[in-house]
Structure 1
Amino acid sequence: MSALDGLYQEVILDHAKRRSGEGLVAPDPGHGSGESHQYNPTCGDEITVRVELAPAGAGTEPVVGRLTWEGEGCSISMAAASVLAEAAPGMTRSELRALIGSFRELLRSRGTVEPDEEVLGDAAAFAGVSRFVARVKCAMLGWVAAEEALGRAG
């Protein structure tokens, strides 16, 4: 295992243990929100993600105020949700959609795409997961829920 692979593994294990954003939080008054529940029938992992949008200023896009979640599953799915909960706040809708798209591209690459840490941040740690097709769904579960919740957010 390379030093980078070892670092990535530590990031995933850390997020699996100290889960950022865990526990659904009611949106602040006047903030829009959307929620999505996703279930992976292959392994039984499930998650509910709530995306809260802070009101936009004149001519600006709303930004994610917070992303919270609750779920049960393997360390990969829970860590991936934690990483997303840390990354999303402060992003506009389009920035969050772009991040989700970049993460999806990395995971579908089967190890052929090098992660761009500038774009993905801690989510780059999941690059090794892309080589294991059965685990890709685990890593994507919370991100798919966030994508759907974002579409439902008012």
Structure 2
Amino acid sequence: MGLAKLNELYKQVILENAQHPHHHGDLETATGTLELRNPTCGDVINVSVLIRQNRIADLSFSGTGCTISQASASLMTTALIDQPVQRARELIMAFSHLITGESINSIDEDALGDAALVGSVAEFPARIKCAALAWHAMDEILEKKGVDDND
């Protein structure tokens, strides 16, 4: 795919997910919730997850922020729902590598789906924190909850 087409696809995916986010709202049955703030730009993301039998059964986010933070949170929910906790943590790490300009394997890139497109934010270092905010919140929740404390 040419660079111009990739840039256009990136714009479409980001705008669509920011304007019509997936899994946006509160998750009343959450087993873990965390709010993170990006003091640099004012983004606020609240991530809620329901973990059952070491799998992400449901996931949502709420909050306010820039287009990139909102789209990235939306894409994260789509990529991580129904993943085993350990695999979700691997995908969070893969996403972190992508947005800092590192390459990842094709299996992880496929599993991230459209979220992998956010990797191009690496070209804009000031926006990396925006893209990473929800993913960091999710990783902190999973780290605190562990795989044994989730039923």
Q: TM-score of the superposition, structure 2-length normalised? A: 0.87
Q: CA deviation at 1:80?
A: 0.4
Counterpart contact for 1:115–1:127, Cα < 8 Å? no
Match of 2:116 among 113, 120, 124: 124
CA contact 2:94–2:104 (8 Å) conserved in 1: no
From 18, 21, 24, give the equivalent of 1:22.
Answer: 24
Q: Which amino acid aligns with 1:50?
A: S
Structure 2: stretches of 5+ with no match in the other structure: none
What are structure 1's unaligned runs of at least 5 residues? Answer: 57-61
Distance 1:74 1:132 in 2: 14
Aligned length: 142
Structure 1 CA distance, aligned partners of 2:60 and 2:27? 6
Matched, 1:84 2:69: no
Following superposition, the deviation at residue 33 of structure 1 comes to 1.3
Q: Aligned pair in 2 of structure 1 residues 65, 34: CA closer, same or farther (>3 Å)?
A: same
The match for 1:135 is: 127
Larger RCO (CA within 8 A; separation ≥ 6): 1
Could you tell me how far 1:87 is from its partner in structure 2?
1.5
User: Relative to total residues, which structure has the larger helix share, 1 or 2?
Assistant: 2
Q: Could you tell me how far 1:114 is from its partner in structure 2?
A: 7.1
Match of 2:100 in 1: 108
Distance 1:63 1:134, change over 3 A: same
Per-residue CA shift, 1:106-130, capped at 9, x if unaligned?
A: 1111xx6378441321111112211
Q: Is the 8 A contact 1:35 1:148 kept in 2?
A: no
Change (3 A) 1:79 1:18: same
1:39 to 30, 37, 40: 37
Q: Which amino acid aligns with 1:10?
A: Q
2:90 equivalent in structure 1: 98
Q: Give the 4+ runs in structure 1 shifted more than 6 A.
A: none
- The alpha-carbon deviation at position 150 of structure 1 amounts to 1.8
Report the identity percentage. 36
Amino acid in structure 1 at the alignment position of 2:79 = A
Tell me if structure 2 keeps the 8 A contact 1:106–1:114. Answer: yes
Instruction: Quote the Cα distance in structure 2 between the aligned partners of 1:149 and 1:114.
Output: 23
1:25-71 Cα shifts (integer Å, max 9, x gaps): 111xxxx71111100010000111011112x2xxxxx1101111111
Is the 1:38–1:47 contact (alpha carbons within 8 Å) kept by the matching residues of 2?
Answer: yes
| CA pair 33-152 structure 1, distance change in 2 beyond 3 A | farther
For 1:16 and 1:50, the matched residues in 2 are separated by: 18
